[in-house]
């Protein structure tokens, strides 16, 4: 992890390329990306689309040549001018409205999904945090982010011959990652001591540039730390409970210390899900040291804290036994002169006080501003957490809702669809992306053009799957049957459904397996066949999730399904971008109301991929009857929900989805294309992070940071 890449001498004229490569801004700005391909397309591909690796392997000769090419220099200058304006410049949506705040807001999250070259996310929560940082950069929100640099990431999952997933958790080589060590005043690696550990624990600090947002990461794998302590940040979501607690102490309390060491004193804090909540205790500390009483200090912290809860599923909340908490916090409480039962009480669930320290309960008690991630999830969260406010009526429980969103420039296809939007919506559409009126112009796109473009994206997806299959076949000697199960027989002309998500029971990847004969008839219909691409990882400790992977994979191997079912291993951000753009239908069938929001369907919908989803999470708000399909209301609440939902989904596919897709008229399924346009038109303006971050600012940050709108423009 310590190695720094060596670059050939980059001519001074284009010396900014190194800085550009180290700022993820390039990844969501197509003209910046194009600058790297323009250097050498083959080397760009060889580098895995990683500009840092590319600069390290590109012959110095080529860089010298480029530094003398007029056409390259023109592009270079244009990109660098915009890069400087959008990263060094402070001016943007936020400053125009509120001016420059004195202190930034600190955002804490256990996971971030920013780019394939930084694997430190498990799923939707991390992707949301990554998309949020990019949007904060675009809107000039004064944010500094904090996280952990996991030396082994989350998990790489391969499928064994018998279909069961195998977890590979190797140390990642971060030489070419866009991460740089933070140095102290004397040019040595910065070390920061984390509170509560005996013997003392130190973290090294790293920095990632996300446009103008600085993102600091901590790493515990230092020689001076004890072996068990070194392993704290090996994996995202340590499985062993005590190690998980230690991880959260480092993330929250260590994170606050790191900000302090860097001279950054946040004016407010946003806690993304319960894992980093202990940061709030660390915020109380300096106030008490200044002489405030506990209650007063607590009130001061609350006034400036925002908390987002992301799931009603209990596995999403950590509950640590009190005895374990005592071991780490007894001293801390003593130091602060704080009665530790009072502190531990802040994490007690009113109905199960003996269960332990509940991080979500703690975060809610410590935050003046809290939100769920869709309207429905807001209701569910108010219901679940009402016992914390026994004196309030259900609808007064102070948990608001801000529906999640995704970062448009990241998720809308940059090669075909974004250039089409440049033309049809105007080149400034990214700046006006949350204006629904703008998107009415999608109607002007010729049907033929949109359909052709979508077919190209489907071919690109299938080509990509073939590219992934080839080395499995060549190097790993996977059986032919498993190459087929991986998608070798997929056909771009066939109606294609995608089901890609974390494999866990409540998401029900096996819903269509309820009736295998019916599924077989659906996919092998000679005139109107259907193919389904599954992808997803199961958490290493989720045995049911792993069993589901195996069950689906076995089906994909079965010749009865004619190679029309595929399971693609090791779902990640790169595969997600191919899938959400390349399939025809995005399938979503969790058990309501457990999908708090869901974001993959938003990515699909704004690319013209039609959602076919149970009414849950964001789709309750997003579905308008014409922009995809919905089901799930058929279930009366009595009997077997699984069967009722399976029946509803089969009927929807058989009676509506399949016929509409194959209703060609002049070579184009007109009715389908109409729905695609309706999907783009309605999903893009409302389900972007632009709208989400705006809401965060208006509903929470303005009050938490004590700002006033200056009434200038929007």
Q: Which residues bind ligand PLP (CB under 6 A)?
A: 123-124, 127, 501, 571-573, 576, 598-601, 603
Please say whether the beta carbons of 586 and 612 come within 8 A.
yes
48 versus 659: smaller Cβ distance to ligand PLP:
48
Q: Could you tell me the smallest distance in angstroms from the CB atom of residue 597 to ligand PLP?
A: 7
Q: Could you tell me the smallest distance in angstroms from the CB atom of residue 201 to ligand PLP?
A: 31
| Dihedrals phi, psi of 66, to nearest 5 degrees | -60, -35
360 versus 589: smaller Cβ distance to ligand PLP:
589
Closest to 682 (Cα-Cα) out of 619, 633, 617? 619
382 versus 501: smaller Cβ distance to ligand PLP:
501
Cα dihedral across residues 427, 433, 438, 439: positive or negative: positive
Closest to 343 (Cα-Cα) out of 351, 637, 352, 334? 334
Q: How far apart are CA 90 and CA 99, in angstroms?
A: 10
Q: State the CB neighbour count (10 A cutoff) for residue 335.
A: 12
**Where does 425-477 have alpha helices with state H?**
436-439, 447-475
Q: Which two tokens stand for residue 599?
A: 């974001």
Q: Could you tell me the smallest distance in angstroms from the CB atom of residue 113 to ligand PLP?
A: 6
Q: How far apart are CA 384 and CA 396, in angstroms?
A: 13
Per-residue CA distances from 648 to 545, 633, 654 (Å):
24, 9, 10
Q: Could you tell me the smallest distance in angstroms from the CB atom of residue 295 to ligand PLP?
A: 39
What one-character DSSP code corresponds to residue 563? Answer: T
44 versus 411: smaller Cβ distance to ligand PLP:
411
24 versus 196: smaller Cβ distance to ligand PLP:
24
Q: Which residues pair with 112 in a beta bridge?
A: 120
Residues found in the chain:
714
Q: Could you tell me the smallest distance in angstroms from the CB atom of residue 194 to ligand PLP?
A: 30
Q: Could you tell me the smallest distance in angstroms from the CB atom of residue 128 to ligand PLP?
A: 8
Cα dihedral across residues 499, 505, 507, 508: positive or negative: positive
Q: Could you tell me the smallest distance in angstroms from the CB atom of residue 153 to ligand PLP?
A: 13
Strand-pair category, 143-148 with 213-219? parallel
Q: Which residues pair with 168 in a beta bridge?
A: 156
Q: Could you tell me the smallest distance in angstroms from the CB atom of residue 399 to ligand PLP?
A: 20
404 versus 433: smaller Cβ distance to ligand PLP:
404
365 versus 501: smaller Cβ distance to ligand PLP:
501
Q: How far apart are CA 32 and CA 41, in angstroms?
A: 14
Q: How far apart are CA 263 and CA 299, in angstroms?
A: 24
116 versus 562: smaller Cβ distance to ligand PLP:
116
Q: Which residues pair with 270 in a beta bridge?
A: 107, 306
Q: Could you tell me the smallest distance in angstroms from the CB atom of residue 460 to ligand PLP?
A: 17
Burial of 460 (0-12, 13-18, 19+ CB in 10 A): middle
127 versus 146: smaller Cβ distance to ligand PLP:
127
Q: Could you tell me the smallest distance in angstroms from the CB atom of residue 546 to ligand PLP?
A: 17
Closest to 239 (Cα-Cα) out of 173, 292, 176, 315? 315
Please say whether the beta carbons of 145 and 705 come within 8 A.
no
Rounded (to 5) percent helix, strand, coil in the chain = 50, 15, 35
The residues, ordered by sequence, that sit 6+ positions from 354 with a Cβ below 8 Å of its Cβ are none
Per-residue CA distances from 96 to 266, 408, 690 (Å):
21, 22, 16
Q: Could you tell me the smallest distance in angstroms from the CB atom of residue 124 to ligand PLP?
A: 3
87 versus 689: smaller Cβ distance to ligand PLP:
689
92 versus 123: smaller Cβ distance to ligand PLP:
123
Q: Could you tell me the smallest distance in angstroms from the CB atom of residue 158 to ligand PLP?
A: 17
129 versus 279: smaller Cβ distance to ligand PLP:
129
């Amino acid at each position: 992890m310590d190695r720094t890449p060596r670059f050939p001498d980059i001519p001074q004229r284009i010396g900014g390329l190194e800085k550009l490569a180290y700022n993820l801004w390039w990844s969501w700005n197509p003209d910046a990306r194009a600058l790297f391909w323009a250097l050498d397309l083959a080397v760009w591909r060889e580098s895995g689309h990683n500009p840092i690796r590319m600069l390290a392997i590109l012959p110095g000769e080529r860089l010298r040549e480029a530094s003398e090419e007029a056409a390259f220099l023109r592009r270079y200058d244009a990109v660098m001018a915009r890069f400087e304006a959008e990263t060094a410049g402070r001016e943007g949506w936020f400053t125009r409205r509120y001016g420059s705040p004195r202190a930034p807001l600190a955002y804490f999250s256990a996971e971030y999904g920013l780019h394939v070259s930084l694997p430190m996310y498990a799923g939707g929560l991390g992707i949301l945090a990554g998309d949020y940082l990019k949007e904060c950069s675009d809107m000039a929100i004064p944010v500094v982010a904090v996280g952990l640099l996991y030396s082994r990431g989350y998990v790489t999952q391969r499928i064994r011959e018998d279909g069961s997933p195998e977890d590979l958790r190797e140390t990642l080589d971060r030489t070419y990652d866009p991460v740089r060590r933070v140095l102290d005043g004397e040019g040595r690696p910065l070390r920061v001591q984390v509170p509560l550990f005996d013997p003392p624990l130190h973290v090294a600090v790293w920095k990632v540039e996300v446009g103008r947002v600085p993102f600091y990461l901590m790493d515990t794998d230092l020689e001076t730390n004890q072996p068990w302590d070194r392993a704290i940040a090996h994996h995202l979501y340590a499985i062993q409970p005590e190690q998980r607690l230690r991880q959260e102490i480092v993330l929250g309390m260590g994170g606050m210390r790191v900000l302090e060491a860097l001279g950054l004193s946040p004016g407010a804090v946003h806690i993304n899900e319960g894992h980093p909540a202990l940061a709030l205790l660390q915020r109380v500390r300096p106030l008490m040291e200044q002489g405030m009483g506990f209650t007063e200090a607590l009130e001061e912290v609350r006034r400036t804290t925002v908390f987002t809860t992301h799931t009603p599923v209990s596995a999403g909340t950590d509950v640590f036994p009190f005895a374990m908490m005592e071991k780490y916090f007894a001293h801390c409480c003593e130091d602060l002169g704080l009665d530790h039962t009072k502190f531990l009480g802040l994490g007690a669930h009113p109905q199960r006080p003996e269960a332990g320290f509940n991080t979500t309960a703690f975060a809610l008690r410590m935050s003046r501003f809290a939100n769920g991630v869709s309207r429905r999830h807001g209701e569910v969260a108010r219901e679940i957490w009402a016992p914390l406010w026994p004196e309030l009526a259900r609808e007064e429980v102070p948990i608001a809702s801000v529906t999640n969103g995704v970062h448009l420039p990241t998720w809308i296809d940059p090669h075909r669809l974004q250039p089409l939007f440049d033309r049809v919506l105007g080149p400034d559409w990214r700046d006006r992306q949350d204006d629904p009126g703008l998107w009415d112009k999608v109607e002007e796109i010729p049907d033929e053009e949109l359909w052709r473009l979508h077919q190209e994206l489907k071919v690109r997806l299938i080509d990509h799957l073939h590219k992934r299959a080839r080395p499995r076949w060549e190097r790993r000697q996977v059986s032919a049957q498993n190459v087929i199960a991986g998608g070798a027989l997929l056909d771009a002309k066939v109606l294609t459904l995608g089901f890609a998500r974390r494999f866990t029971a409540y998401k029900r990847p096996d819903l269509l397996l309820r009736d295998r004969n019916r599924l077989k008839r659906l996919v092998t219909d000679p005139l109107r066949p259907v193919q389904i691409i599954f992808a997803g990882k199961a958490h290493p400790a989720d045995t049911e999730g792993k069993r589901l992977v195996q069950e689906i994979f076995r089906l994909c191997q079965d010749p009865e399904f004619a190679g029309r079912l595929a399971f693609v291993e090791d779902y990640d951000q790169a595969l997600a971008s191919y899938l959400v753009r390349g399939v025809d239908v995005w399938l979503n069938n969790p058990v309501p109301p457990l999908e708090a929001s869901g974001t993959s369907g938003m990515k699909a919908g704004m690319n013209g991929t039609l959602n076919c989803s149970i009414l849950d999470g964001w789709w309750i708000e997003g579905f308008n009857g014409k922009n995809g399909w919905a089901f799930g209301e058929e279930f009366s609440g009595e009997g077997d929900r699984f069967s009722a939902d399976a029946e509803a989904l089969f009927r929807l596919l058989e009676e509506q989805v399949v016929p509409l897709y194959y209703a060609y008229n002049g070579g184009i399924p007109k009715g389908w294309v109409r729905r695609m346009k309706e999907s783009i038109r309605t999903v893009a303006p409302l389900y972007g992070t632009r709208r989400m971050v705006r809401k965060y600012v208006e509903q929470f940050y303005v009050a938490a940071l004590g700002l006033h709108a200056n009434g200038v423009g929007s």
